[in-house]
Amino acid sequence: MSTVSKIRDALREKGLDALLVKEEKNRRYVTGFHSTAGMALITQDTAFFITDSRYIEAARAVITDFSVAESTTHKTEKDWLRALTAEYGVKALGFEEDFLSVSAFRALQEAAEKAYEYVPAQELLWTLRASKSEQEIAAMTAAQRIAEKALEAVLPLIRPGVKERDLAAELSYRMSRLGGEGNSFDPIVVAGPRSSMPHGVPGDNAIASGDFVTMDFGCVVEGYCSDMTRTVAVGEATEEMRRVYGIVLEAQLCGIAAARPGLVGAEVDAAARKVIADAGYGAYFGHGFGHSLGLDIHEAPNAAPTEKKVLPEGTVISAEPGIYLPGKFGVRIEDVMVLRNGGAEVITKMPKELLVL
């Protein structure tokens, strides 16, 4: 079933006449076309994509399920919206309340001239985006392969004296050279005591012998993100470092083993969190076990202690427990998995046994 057909089914279920899509990633999801400007309007029977002169030629060549029209200074997006909603008798129009600013929403309301009601509908899109198609999964797998090859190329560069920011730059460069369309997010590379900061920013800190180095990074292919974390030791690893690494790895494997469609996100998180808590490090694991990803690096639903949403089949979600000991070191190991019927398929292939460089 096409994305547009899925949206129409959801519109009927929620009693909406149409859905207005303006946010960049949502537009790409519904149309398959990437642009920094544009508007999609999907009704029960029709679908329109309106964009300006920068994208109109490319949009007409790529988009197949929509009528594509151009916005100009003489007929703006608001003019198109007013005309189309009137032509198709729209009375209840879904919109992306999570992304629309107050001022933009007020402008849309004024343009509507009270002809129809705006109804919050971002959850409709989140629900559809949560379950990935095989085409989406293929793009994410390709992005994952690029990230892994980049790490393989960078590992020989990790040695005492090398700065965190230089390793981060190398990862970005290698992923780009290998075909990545850009980073999924700014790479995290932190070493030594700074590795206890889950989202530490790479700086001029130089790696020393005996350090853990944590690298969290990913790239984009066809708009879809990859995400992985590996923690390696430089020179040597103490008994405590090896013990903590082993606990994190065991927690990750337990979470992956527990993951399957139909579970609430908190249940998957609990399977991994118990391992860390039972080992006495529960206070040092402050984030969730995993987050969904796709066109955005953080999507929903999550595998977190507070997540009450069910994980549907086709969810692509990270598996990334960690233990962070302030002033000493941190360990995080992250793979990405697809929830299939009865279990989880890990699409990350990079080895994750402790590596001492």
- The yes-or-no verdict on residue 1 having pLDDT over 90 is no
Give the count of beta carbons closer than 10 Å to the beta carbon of residue 306: 9
Q: Among 74, 93, 77, 95, which Cα is nearest to 85's?
A: 93
Q: Is 110 exposed, middle or buried (0-12, 13-18, 19+ CB in 10 A)?
A: exposed
Q: Measured between alpha carbons, how far is 232 from 212 in angstroms, rounded to an integer?
A: 6
Question: Residue 78's Cα: distance from chain center in Å?
Answer: 30
* Band of residue 102 on the pLDDT scale cut at 50, 70, 90: confident
Q: Measured between alpha carbons, how far is 188 from 196 in angstroms, rounded to an integer?
A: 12
Q: Measured between alpha carbons, how far is 117 from 15 in angstroms, rounded to an integer?
A: 12
- Percent of residues, the chain, with pLDDT higher than 90: 93
Question: Residue 225's Cα: distance from chain center in Å?
Answer: 6
Backbone φ and ψ of 124, nearest 5°: -60, -45
Q: Does an H or E element contain 118, and which?
A: strand 117-120
Dihedral sign for Cα atoms in the order 85, 91, 96, 100: positive
Domain 134-346 class? alpha beta
Q: Measured between alpha carbons, how far is 121 from 7 in angstroms, rounded to an integer?
A: 11
Are 3-130 and 134-346 the same fold in CATH? no
Residues 268-326 have pLDDT tens digits of 999 999 999 999 999 999 999 999 999 999 999 999 999 999 999 999 999 999 999 99
- Tell me the two tokens of residue 209: 């012998």
* Band of residue 213 on the pLDDT scale cut at 50, 70, 90: very high
Average confidence score pLDDT of the chain: 96
8 Å CB contact between 146 and 175:
yes
Of 106-110, 224-228, 249-253, the poorest mean pLDDT is in 106-110
Q: Stretch 211-230: mean pLDDT, rounded?
A: 98
Burial 77-109 (b: 16+ CB within 10 A, else e): beebbbebbeeeebeebbbbeeebeeeeeeebe
What fold, for 3-130? Creatine Amidinohydrolase; Chain A, domain 1 (3.40.350)
* Band of residue 152 on the pLDDT scale cut at 50, 70, 90: very high
Q: Among 101, 114, 119, which Cα is nearest to 14's?
A: 119
Domain boundaries, the chain: 3-130, 134-346
The secondary structure of the chain in percent helix, strand, coil, rounded to multiples of 5, reads 40, 25, 40
The four Cα atoms 14, 263, 294, 195 give a dihedral, to 10 degrees, of: 140
Q: Measured between alpha carbons, how far is 162 from 206 in angstroms, rounded to an integer?
A: 5
Q: Residue 127 has what pLDDT?
A: 95
Amino acid at the residue 287: H
* Band of residue 108 on the pLDDT scale cut at 50, 70, 90: confident
Q: Residue 139 has what pLDDT?
A: 98
Q: Does an H or E element contain 145, and which?
A: helix 134-154
Residues 224-242 have pLDDT tens digits of 999 999 999 999 999 999 9
Beta-strand relationship, 316-319 and 335-340: antiparallel
